[in-house]
Amino acid sequence: DTGVSQDPRHKITKRGQNVTFRCDPISEHNRLYWYRQTLGQGPEFLTYFQNEAQLEKSRLLSDRFSAERPKGSFSTLEIQRTEQGDSAMYLCASSPEDRETQYFGPGTRLLVL
Amino acid sequence: GESVGLHLPTLSVQEGDNSIINCAYSNSASDYFIWYKQESGKGPQFIIDIRSNMDKRQGQRVTVLLNKTVKHLSLQIAATQPGDSAVYFCAENNGSARQLTFGSGTQLTVLP
């Protein structure tokens, strides 16, 4: 399977704990995106990388959230001191440099108790 | 603020009929539009896209129509099948930013 992959698929944590999610984009896609989706809503943009550079960040990305893409391949999204309001599906997408089409992974569903 | 939205939250169609899902957008600077299908528990799946210099684009069983005058986008699915049951999202990109702005989605249910 050469699509976008995300790990883990599900995560249950207690309020106040830190969590980290991983995204592996489609091979050779140099653009990588993170979105958050709550039940019944469309995905909301969080941040965007071109290669290893983080070029855009949404106001939704509070200081408890940090994303990295150190080698321009996989990316991690960390949430520190999780809150119940962080419960959502976290989606990763990638796109090639010459196209705007974003291809999404299966998502990581986070539940904060 | 400017946003992408959908006219109807739910749509039920008979198997074999054609489906039309509508979407309104308000950002006149948007130059790229895309439709996604999302099944329960899965990530959005690309269906078809269209740039603002076009008004129609066809794929396999799907057609996207863009009316820039009234800022309206539609997705037509021909001969709807049970496997088409899902939530459909339209999204826009205004070109200068890489982020997609999504609407809230339409739940399509195909009746036997």
pLDDT at A87: 97
Alpha helices in chain A (DSSP H): none
Q: Give the mean model confidence (pLDDT) for residues B45-65.
A: 96
Q: Which amino acid is at B29?
A: A
Beta-carbon contacts of B48 under 8 Å, excluding residues fewer than 6 positions away, are: B34, B35, B57, B59, B62, B63, B64, B75
pLDDT of residue A43: 95
Q: Is the pLDDT of residue B54 over 80?
A: yes
- Is A102 within 8 Å of B49 when comparing Cβ atoms? no
Which residues neighbour A26 within 8 Å (Cβ) at sequence distance 6 or greater? A2, A3, A4, A94, A96, A103
A102–B45 C-beta distance less than 8 A: no
Q: Map residue B10 onto helix, strand or coil.
A: strand
B102 contacts on A by Cβ (under 8 Å): 42-44
End-to-end CA, chain B: 40
Contact assignment for B93 to A43 by CB distance below 8 Å: no
CB atoms within 10 A of CB B34: 22
Q: Which residues of A touch B104 (CB under 8 A)?
A: 40-42
By a Cβ cutoff of 8 Å, what residues of chain A touch chain B? 4, 6, 31, 33, 35, 40-45, 48, 50, 55-56, 58, 91, 100-107, 109
Pick B27 or A6 by higher pLDDT. A6
Determine the pLDDT at residue B2. Answer: 39
Report d(CA B31, CA B3) in Å as an integer.
Answer: 14
Scan for tokens 């169609």, then name that residue: B13
Is the pLDDT at B27 greater than 90, yes or no? no
Q: Do A48 and B99 touch (CB under 8 A)?
A: yes
Is B45 in CB contact (< 8 Å) with chain A?
yes
Letter string b/e over residues B64-103, b meaning 16 or more CB atoms within 10 A of that residue's CB: bbbeeeebebbbbbeebeeebbbbbbbbbbbeeebbbbbb
Residues of A in contact with B44 (CB under 8 A): 43, 91, 104
- Residue A64 is predicted with a pLDDT of 96
> pLDDT value at position B96?
64
Percent of chain A exceeding pLDDT 70 equals 99
| Cα–Cα distance, B106 to B21 (Å, whole number) | 7
Question: Which one has a higher pLDDT value, A28 or B86?
Answer: B86
- The span from the CA of A73 to the CA of A60, in Å, is 24
Residue pairs between chains A and B whose CB atoms are closer than 8 Å: 59
From the list A30, A31, A21, A27, the residue with the least C-alpha distance to A86 is A21
Neighboring chain A residues of B4 at a CB cutoff of 8 Å: 42
Residue B104 binned pLDDT confidence (cut-offs 50, 70, 90):
confident
Q: Whole-number mean pLDDT of chain B?
A: 90
- Model confidence at B95: pLDDT above 80: no
Smallest CA–CA distance, residue B81 to chain A, in Å, is 23
Nearest CA in chain A to B89: A42
Instruction: Name the residue with tokens 């070109």.
Output: B95
Q: What is the pLDDT along chain A (113 residues), one digit of tens a residue?
A: 579 999 999 999 999 999 999 999 999 899 999 999 998 899 999 999 999 999 999 988 889 999 999 988 999 999 999 999 999 999 999 999 888 899 999 999 999 99
